[in-house]
Amino acid sequence: MTPTSETRTPRSARALLIAEGDAEVLERYERHLRFERARSEHTIRGYLSDAVSLLEFTFQGSAESEKRGARDLTIQDLRAWLAARAEAGHSPTTLARGAAAARTFTAWLREAGLVELDPGRRLRAPKRGRTLPHVISAAQARDILEEAESAAHEKAVGPQSSPEVYPMRVRDAAILEVLYSSGLRVSELCALNRASVDRQNRTLRVIGKGNKERVVPLGVPALNAIDRWESIARSSFVRDEHEALFLGVRGGRINDRAVRTVVDRAAREGGLEGHISPHTWRHSAATHLMEGGADLRSVQDLLGHSSLQTTQIYTHVSAERLKEAVKQAHPRA
């Protein structure tokens, strides 16, 4: 295969050293992930990053006389790439994620007719170590939500009130309530439309991974927060009709980065230290349900997990928190 000069993909901020034609391959792969697989922006970024890393590794490791690219990948290339990442200090979890991304990429190469055989079928990676998700306590969640609601009220009636700040605070309070009430992924929250809310039944219609639809309950505080956002703040973001439930500052559908900013700021204002993400709220909602007596199947349905095994991590989280509570409070712990 003919070597190429530095190539730049549409979503790359730097020049890539990859084989001739591989930039087009990456563009096609991105379209596949986005439109055919309906992957989230976060997943697309991760899969593309790993595909680029694999292609650069293969290109730079091949002989000058025969530079190799996506159409030339072998199982040996994939294993060498993973080995190099392991030597660079990547964790077993990162290696497992990279192996999964590589298998997805090579399976698509076969499906797209770019290779005759899928070299990733036999690729294995170290098993992930079981890491318990980070959660906040129910009391901490309550403090953050109350602080967010208080901030919205103060911006509305206090001496520092502002037509720009107040609607944003009302929106942010609604976002936090919905994340905690329904345990949504950030991509699912961003994809919510106004029509997704069923006020009569207090439910949300959610489009999850792989465009799978599910209906999840919506708590009264979350529904009230949505109604407040819709009735007194939403019009400040956009005058025209827009199907998205939550809007960004420019009037379009809110994106995951903006939601992460909302969550991070709310946590800091609520007195929490460390990194708090939208996924922390999702983990916390599930854990608090388990601690409150919810059965595993119900939590699985709420979270949209295709496998019950994925949901079972929350039984371990609850057990760990129980052990910690006993350790702190029991005189004979």
Residue 166 annotated to the active site: no
Residue 323 annotated to the active site: no
Instruction: Check 39, 67, 171, 185 and give the catalytic one.
Output: 185
Instruction: Check 47, 166, 180, 314 and give the catalytic one.
Output: 314
Contacts for 16 with CB less than 8 Å, ≥ 6 apart: 6, 7, 8, 9, 23, 52, 55, 56
Q: Are 237 and 189 in contact (CB under 8 A)?
A: no
Instruction: Check 68, 171, 282, 283 and give the catalytic one.
Output: 282
Burial state string for 14-45 with b = 16 or more CB within 10 A and e = fewer than 16? eebbbbebbbebbeebbebbeeebbbbeebbe
Q: Which of 313, 173, 332, 186 is nearest to 255 (CA)?
A: 186
* Number of residues in the chain: 333
Residue 305 annotated to the active site: yes
Q: What are phi and psi of 214, to 5 degrees?
A: -145, 160
3-class secondary-structure state, position 261: helix
Q: Are 216 and 182 in contact (CB under 8 A)?
A: yes
Instruction: Check 28, 214, 279, 316 and give the catalytic one.
Output: 279
Residue 314 annotated to the active site: yes
Residue 288 annotated to the active site: no
Residue located via tokens 């190099």: 84
Residue 103 in tokens: 């298998």
Instruction: Check 209, 242, 265, 268 and give the catalytic one.
Output: 209
Residue 279 annotated to the active site: yes
Instruction: Check 39, 67, 85, 305 and give the catalytic one.
Output: 305
Give the active site residues.
Answer: 185, 209, 279, 282, 305, 314
